[in-house]
Amino acid sequence: MQNNEATEHINKDTVNIDMVSTQDMLVMINNEDMKVAQAVQKCIPEIAKGVDIIVRNFLQGGRLFYVGAGTSGRLGVLDASECPPTFSTPPDMVQGIIAGGDRALREAVEGAEDSEEMALNDFDKYDICNTDTIVGISASGNPKYVMTFLKIAKLKKCKTIAVCSNPDAKMKQYADCFICTDTGAEAISGSTRMKAGTAQKMILNMLSTASMVKIGKTFHNLMIDVKPTNEKLKRRAVTIVSEICGCRLVTARNVLESNGYSTKHAVLYILYGLEYKEADKLLKEHHGVLRRIFE
């Protein structure tokens, strides 16, 4: 029986990939990769719709859950894990759920992507409610684990987003927002960790980053809520405060060291002379959005 999923088709441009030189092989793969950004670009209206859904729920105290199996699940966990250090989000604000649990991050868990029971158990475990957003991720859009998760989410009145590379994906019926990138046949037939996976990574970056920008986690394009957990990030915080305040790096560093490297509080101290408690009160009144205070 023929498989109609484009990612499972045989790519006519790479049929000789096992016979060419190493360099020619890499050129073939790179040529395929160059198609990914264009496929994502065509989906920007749907991605924008997804961002607006996530932001509305964030502003109501909701959370964002990425749900997937295999490569798709790993990409969701990766994007979620990068939000706390990048934007100082609480650990539970953006979460990645992979079929088969943590073990599936490092090895294949047999039957996990087809397990409706696992989906039911995982949904209950996270106490998901109607202010949360569920993003189902799958190249084919058909694994039972992801579909079941989205189906339950819809029944619970959650907003749902589907990210896939198959226009005929079954999970489309459970999605308030359907993001489908036409990445076509993979360089290695069926290896969706390649173009389809790259498209997913780009889309998840856009969903989380744009949502964080819209809730005030940046100032201009500066990572104002960066969590300085290492020397590199401390240097970045110093540079950000210096840039915003127009002060010397040493001034920014001294203030940050005195307040535990809280960038927003440092900015308000340097520009307005606000002590930590006063700045903290003002930030809470404006939901942490520095630009609102400036305006």
Query: How far apart are alpha carbons 42 and 180 in whole angstroms?
Result: 9
Active-site residue, from 8, 82, 116, 243: 82
Tokens 């069926």 belong to 190
148's CB contacts (< 8 A; 6+ apart) are 116, 119, 120
Query: How far apart are alpha carbons 140 and 120 in whole angstroms?
Result: 21
113 an active-site residue? yes
Per DSSP, the three-state class of 90 is: coil
Strands, E assignment, the chain = 64-68, 94-98, 133-137, 159-164, 177-180
Query: How far apart are alpha carbons 11 and 28 in whole angstroms?
Result: 11
Query: How far apart are alpha carbons 244 and 286 in whole angstroms?
Result: 18
Active-site residue, from 5, 32, 113, 186: 113
| CA-closest candidate to residue 151, choices 171, 166, 124 | 171
82 an active-site residue? yes
Query: How far apart are alpha carbons 169 and 183 in whole angstroms?
Result: 14
| Catalytic residue set | 82, 113
